[in-house]
Amino acid sequence: MSKRLVIGNWKMNPKSLKEAEALFKGIVTASKDSKNVDIVVCPPYPFLTTAKKVPNKKIKLGAQDTSEMLEGSYTSQVSSSMISSLGATYVIIGHSERRSIGDTDEIVNKKILQALKSKLIPVVCIGENVRDTHGDYLALVKYQLIDCLKNVSKLQMKNIVIAYEPVWAIGSHATRVATPEEFTEMKIFIRKVLSDIFDSKVAHATRVLYGGSVNPQNAQAFVDATADGFLVGRDSLNPKKFGAIIAVCK
């Protein structure tokens, strides 16, 4: 089994470079004793280089998004090769907070293909906005996987991570946290879809993370429910809590 993976998504936090440096240092200290866990921190773009300067061998860096374009006249866009040249190795793609402002599955797919070209590991976010009683959310997740992973090869799947983040469980407006049982069911479903698109070997080798109101109290239950790790929002801004979530994944 591959190591569990814990990713901190700082979103649009903290407010300043100074605070970002302090936060990153705090996370380095809090995760010192964390053998057998892969740790990634995804700060906003301007803080990637700050984090890079803090000496540590353990924590890898990631960006929170990438452009679907290679280069050129695209004001405000940041390309995968730029991210890679800053020393980052991961990139979150298709986060629901990006999807809510226009990222379609087609755009997410283009971003994944660009990221792979620059040797970044895409953390592909999928998940439904609401759970209905007819199971329509399963069809939605299925087509997110099919459309987002179009033209991705079996070999490239070795460098892709799936993060299941039900939108209703994310952030301070979450209606509730997903239950570990709901995660287990969804992971089985995701594996089935990956098996249909690729094969069962790919389906079993792909890490499926849980994201949505993860905290030190609920993390163990998700690990017991076969989560291969976490995509953490709010609690990645608190080194003590983030460290405690990492400790659960050891």
Q: Which of 166, 212, 229, 239 binds ligand 13P (CB under 6 A)?
A: 212
With a CB cutoff of 8 Å and minimum separation 6, the contacts of 250 are 34, 35, 36, 37
Does 243 interact with ligand 13P (rule: CB under 6 A)? Answer: no
| Candidate segments 29-37, 178-186, 216-224, 226-234, binder of ligand 13P by CB under 6 A | 226-234
Tell which residue, 95, 234, 242, has the closest CA to residue 163: 95
Does 232 interact with ligand 13P (rule: CB under 6 A)? Answer: yes
Is 165 a residue of the active site?
yes
Binding residues for ligand 13P restricted to 108-167, rule: CB under 6 A:
165
Q: Which CB atom, from 26 or from 171, has the smaller least distance to ligand 13P?
A: 171
Given 21, 68, 95, 173, which residue is catalytic? 95
Measure CA of the first residue to CA of the last residue in the chain; give whole Å. 13
Does 170 interact with ligand 13P (rule: CB under 6 A)? Answer: yes
Structure token pair of residue 67: 């452009």
191, 208 Cβ separation under 8 angstroms: yes
173, 221 Cβ separation under 8 angstroms: no
Does 213 interact with ligand 13P (rule: CB under 6 A)? Answer: yes
Q: Which CB atom, from 124 or from 202, has the smaller least distance to ligand 13P?
A: 124
Is 106 a residue of the active site?
no
Q: In the chain, what are the helix, strand and coil shares in percent, each to the nearest 5?
A: 45, 15, 40
* Adjacent-strand bridge partners of 4: 37
Q: Which CB atom, from 28 or from 40, has the smaller least distance to ligand 13P?
A: 40
Structure token pair of residue 107: 């755009």
Q: Which CB atom, from 8 or from 116, has the smaller least distance to ligand 13P?
A: 8
93, 123 Cβ separation under 8 angstroms: yes
Q: Which of 43, 62, 127, 211 binds ligand 13P (CB under 6 A)?
A: 211
217, 180 Cβ separation under 8 angstroms: no
Phi, psi for 40 (deg, rounded to 5): -135, 135
Question: Mask of contacts with ligand 13P, 41-80, x by CB under 6 A?
Answer: ----------------------------------------
C-beta of 135: minimal distance to ligand 13P in Å?
A: 24
Residues at the interface with ligand 13P (CB under 6 A): 9, 95, 165, 170-171, 211-214, 231-234
